[in-house]
Each structure stands twice: as C-alpha cells, then as structure tokens.
A = this chain, B = another copy of it.
Amino acid sequence: MATAPRRRASMGRQKIEIRKIESEEARQVCFSKRRAGLFKKASELAVLCGAEVAAVVFSPAGKAFSFGHPSVEAIFDRFVPSAAQHPGAVAAGAGLGASGDRNLAELNRQYGELRTQLEAEKARKERAEEAMAKERAAGNQMAAWLDADLRDMGEEELMAFAAALVEVQAAVSERANQVLQEALNVGRSRSASRMLQAPPPHQQQQQLAGGGTFEFGGTSTNAGMEIQQKLLAVPPPPPPGFAPGMDIVQHGGFPY
C-alpha cells in the first residue's frame, strides 16, 4: 500500500520470567491485562465446573478488584467460618488422626515447598533428558544403564547414584588402563592405536568441579563421602522453583 513502513508490527509475545516487573508502567499494564485474564479464568472455572469461585486482587496501588460466583462474600464466608488458620492458632485436629493437628500455615508451607521441589525436579528432568540423548550416542551398552531411570530419580537417589557413578568411573578408568597396558604388552599396536583414535565426543565435558576430571578415590571405599563433602562445599543451594514464596494453600490436592 502506501508508504507505510511495514515493520513487523509486533515482536510477538515475549517470554518473561516470573519476577516482579521492573518498569512501573509495564507492570501496571500487565496488571490490568492479567487481572482481567485471571477473572476470566475464574469465571470459566466456575461455569465449566459448576464450582464456587472467588478472587480478590489488590493492585500495587491499593485498589481492590474482585470476582465472585456466586459472590465473594459467600465464598469467603464459607471459607472462613471459624478459620483457625492463624499461624499462632492451634487448629488442633483429630479427624485425620495423628497428623491432623498441623495448622494451615504449616500445611501451606509444606505444600509450597513440595511444589517448588516438583518444579525444580521437572526442570532437572528436562536437562537430564538432554544429556541422555548424548549418552545414547555413545551407543554402548553402558549408556542404557546410565540412562536407566535417572530421570525418575529424586534428589536423594540422584546423589546416591552420583556416588555410585563416581565409583564406577574410577573402576572403569583403572580397568581401561589395565586393558591398554595388556594390549600394549602383547604388542598389537595396530588395533591398540586405532582404539584410541575413537575418542568419545563427550570427554570434553568432564571438567566441572576441580577443573578437570574429578578424581574421586581410585578406591571405592569412600567415594560417597567425598561427594558428600564436595556437595557441602558448594555454595548455598539456591532454591529453584516457580513462583516461590507466595503461600499456596491448597486445602486439598494439587495435581501438578
């Protein structure tokens, strides 16, 4: 058409991390958009599932917005009847027996924690997946073992597994050396050298901790301990997770 600088009218939706938006302005705009979106979602949830939903939002400026079906009051009322969810309150419980005496705050905290962990694990899993592909490339039988259910391992297991790996690594290394030695002794240079010509593509990544291949005990007696120490040596463990902090209460299960 005319002389209209047809520049891409948009960069499309940009990905943003869930952290407080710096720009006051952008934040305000975002607030509006998302508030609307939230209410819409709330509404849909209410209609689609015949659920009772209430949502109250205070803009950073202090203005209040709310959505409620049938009404905010109704929901709140139902929710708060005797609310014993005061951190200080006891909210003893008997129903569920032993552990029923936790107060909501605690449950809350626990849940948030759990969720955070799940989130973290999820991320980890993905990275693992990636690495796995690489290993598979190695094409050897061991890869299978290495791949195994690592993806499903929890932190604990991972740690233990790591310890195991270190051991194996040492053993393999040693053995490899031996084999090479043997090979050389028997003197069939031909293949011996060729073998070495096939350097595993991932050898490069062996550096991490010490600056080279980590050398945990050639002995398997205390590999675990070593690791433990290494771990502890690491700086503080930054807790990952999505939307940390806010207190998710989930009085109930949260499928995620």
Contact = CB atoms under 8 A, between A and B. Distances in A.
A182 B238 contact: no
A84 B104 contact: yes
A255 interface: yes
Contact of A63 (B48, B106, B252): B252
A75 to B, nearest CB: 5
B182 A128 contact: yes
Interface residues on A, range: 35 or more
Interface in A96-126: 96, 98-118, 120-121, 123-126
**How often does this chain occur in the complex, in copies?**
2
B34 A41 contact: yes
A140 interface: yes
B183 A155 contact: yes
A155 to B, nearest CB: 5
A256 B80 CA distance: 21
Interface in A182-220: 182-200, 202-214, 216, 220
Q: Tell me which of A83, A240, A245 has the highest count of chain B C-beta atoms within 10 A of its own C-beta.
A: A245
Nearest to A165: B176
Contacts of A33: 255
A92 B100 CA distance: 10
Nearest to A79: B56
A201 B184 CA distance: 25
Contacts of A199: 166, 224-225, 228
Interface string A121-137: 10111111111101110
A132 B153 contact: yes
Interface string A146-169: 101110111111111111111111
Contact of A47 (B86, B152, B197, B243): B243
A166 to B, nearest CB: 5
Interface in A70-95: 70-73, 75-76, 78-95
